[in-house]
């Protein structure tokens, strides 16, 4: 005798355009903007506690700036033309521009937007294009509050001759829409992946390529971070110097540790690019501008503007190699034959290269405070186009080889995919 518990009927999602728009705005605000906003406020408060750099009531404004920096909104500084002169001159003339995507917050935006898009596309599993459009809808709920708070963010660094540091308002609209919209659309396509695979071999191939490319990219970042930790252990002199600097700097050193932790994804991206031979690890070879190479060398007391790799640094080549192999193995899973697996592995290399290029753009850091000292903005990063092309070679070669280790299905196509 079975218990007669009442059954609840599952209400299908409302997939009408107006309903999707409303739910998209709500999800973008609740699931993406609010968590990033709270994280920005927490970071600002933590920085204030450990450093005391600014007044207690300024942390809210600083937190808003951290939120905008999650999607690399540019901040432009203006300085007074003279004592008592109210007019301002553009910061571009003085090189005072702040461009940075705080890596930890950027990853949060990517993950939260993907999840919001995935939830938004429920009920559209059989319609990939509609699922992608619906998945992008939360970008509106993320972008609108970002542009609303942007005009209220005005920072000042009088010690560096910067009276006002303000975000570029149009970027506060475009960048949240682009970042959240693209990640949400990918989340929508993830929901409809079965329908994409059912459209034939190329649908299956691109699903496998996307899976393999993302796998290779995330493994590349993880291995780059692991390599950084190993390097820190093997180079106790440099690690000790860093620790002594932090200890001597008091609150400023503690704040440096906080910001360094937040920028670890940026650092890992640069290490990954450098390990692919995109750039040599030199003071002047990190794609700086102006006289920054000579200025940095003078500040740290280096005998020259270059610091080449020791021979054992070639071990870092294993990072992109291993990432490509892992991504190719994931892409070639259930391919049903070596040629098909190799094709999917090569396509995964294309996806990997595109992700590396976007990450290289997002990871670059431009800081203005040292402009007056070094004669130009401080820019640390690698060239996105160069990174994309070199990552393409690593990704295609590694993905093709890695696909040979994949577990293959039966037949010439993928399971459930009609041959065409």
The model's pLDDT over 150-177, given as tens digits with 9 standing for 90+, comes to 998 887 766 556 677 889 999 999 999 9
DSSP code of residue 380: E
pLDDT confidence of residue 244: 80
- Which segment of 137-141, 205-209, 304-308 scores lowest on mean pLDDT? 304-308
pLDDT confidence of residue 9: 56
Both tokens of residue 118?
């995935």
Both tokens of residue 318?
């294993």
- Residue 20, Cβ density class (10 Å: 0-12 exposed, 13-18 middle, ≥19 buried): buried
Confidence band of 308 (pLDDT split at 50, 70, 90):
low
Q: Check whether 182 has a pLDDT greater than 90.
A: yes
Confidence band of 232 (pLDDT split at 50, 70, 90):
confident
Confidence band of 369 (pLDDT split at 50, 70, 90):
low
* 69 in Cβ contact with 31 (< 8 Å): no
Q: Check whether 93 has a pLDDT greater than 90.
A: no
pLDDT confidence of residue 416: 41
Both tokens of residue 123?
């009920």
pTM tops 0.95 = no
* Residues 379-383: contacts with CB under 8 Å, at least 24 apart: 379/287, 379/288, 379/289, 379/292, 380/270, 380/286, 380/287, 380/288, 381/270, 381/286, 381/287, 382/270, 382/273, 382/274, 382/278, 382/279, 382/286, 382/287, 383/278, 383/279, 383/287
- 56 versus 279: the higher-pLDDT residue is 56
Backbone angles phi, psi at 333, to 5 degrees: -65, 135
Q: Check whether 399 has a pLDDT greater than 50.
A: yes
Q: What percent of the chain has pLDDT over 90?
A: 44
Which residues, at least 6 apart from 219, have a Cβ–Cβ distance to it below 8 Å? Answer: 322, 323, 326, 327
The H or E element spanning position 146 is: helix 138-149
pLDDT confidence of residue 131: 94
CA 120 to each of CA 184, 210, 261: distance values in angstroms, whole numbers, following the listed order: 8, 20, 32
pLDDT confidence of residue 76: 84
* 177 in Cβ contact with 138 (< 8 Å): no
């Amino acid at each position: 005798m079975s218990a007669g518990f009442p059954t609840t009927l599952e209400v299908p999602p409302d997939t009408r355009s107006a309903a999707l728009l409303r739910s998209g705005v709500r999800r973008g605000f609740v699931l993406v903007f609010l968590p990033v906003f709270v994280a920005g406020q927490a970071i600002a408060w933590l920085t204030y506690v450990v450093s005391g750099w600014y007044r207690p009531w300024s942390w809210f404004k600083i937190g808003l700036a951290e939120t905008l920096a999650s999607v690399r909104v540019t901040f432009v500084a203006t300085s007074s033309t003279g004592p008592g002169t109210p007019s301002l001159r553009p910061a571009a003339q003085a090189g005072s521009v702040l461009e940075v995507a705080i890596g930890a917050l950027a990853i949060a935006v990517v993950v939260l937007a993907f999840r919001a898009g995935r939830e938004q596309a429920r009920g559209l599993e059989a319609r990939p294009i509609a699922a992608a459009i619906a998945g992008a809808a939360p970008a509106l709920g993320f972008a609108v509050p970002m542009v609303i708070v942007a005009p209220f963010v005005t920072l000042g660094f009088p010690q560096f001759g910067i009276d006002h540091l303000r975000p570029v308002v149009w970027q506060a609209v475009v960048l949240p829409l682009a970042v959240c919209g693209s990640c949400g659309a990918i989340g929508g396509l993830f929901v409809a992946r079965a329908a994409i695979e059912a459209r034939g071999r190329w649908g299956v191939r691109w699903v496998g390529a996307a899976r393999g490319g993302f796998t290779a990219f995330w493994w590349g970042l993880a291995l780059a971070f692991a390599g950084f930790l190993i390097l820190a252990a093997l180079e106790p002199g440099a690690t000790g110097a860093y620790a002594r600097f932090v200890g001597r700097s008091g609150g400023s050193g503690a704040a440096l540790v906080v910001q360094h932790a937040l920028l670890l994804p940026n650092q890992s991206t640069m290490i990954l690019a450098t390990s692919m031979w995109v750039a040599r690890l030199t003071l002047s070879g990190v794609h700086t501008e102006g006289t920054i190479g000579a200025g940095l060398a003078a500040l740290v007391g280096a005998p020259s503007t270059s610091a080449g790799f020791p021979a054992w640094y070639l071990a870092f080549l294993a990072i992109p190699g291993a990432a490509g192999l892992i991504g190719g193995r994931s892409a070639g899973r259930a391919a049903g034959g070596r040629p098909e697996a190799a094709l999917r592995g090569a396509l995964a290399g294309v996806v990997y290269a595109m992700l590396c290029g976007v990450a290289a753009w997002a990871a670059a850091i431009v800081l203005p405070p040292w402009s007056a000292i070094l004669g130009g903005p401080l820019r640390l990063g690698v060239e996105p186009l160069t990174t994309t092309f070199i990552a393409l070679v690593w990704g295609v070669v590694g993905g093709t080889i890695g696909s040979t280790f994949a577990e293959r299905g039966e037949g010439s196509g993928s399971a459930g995919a009609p041959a065409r």
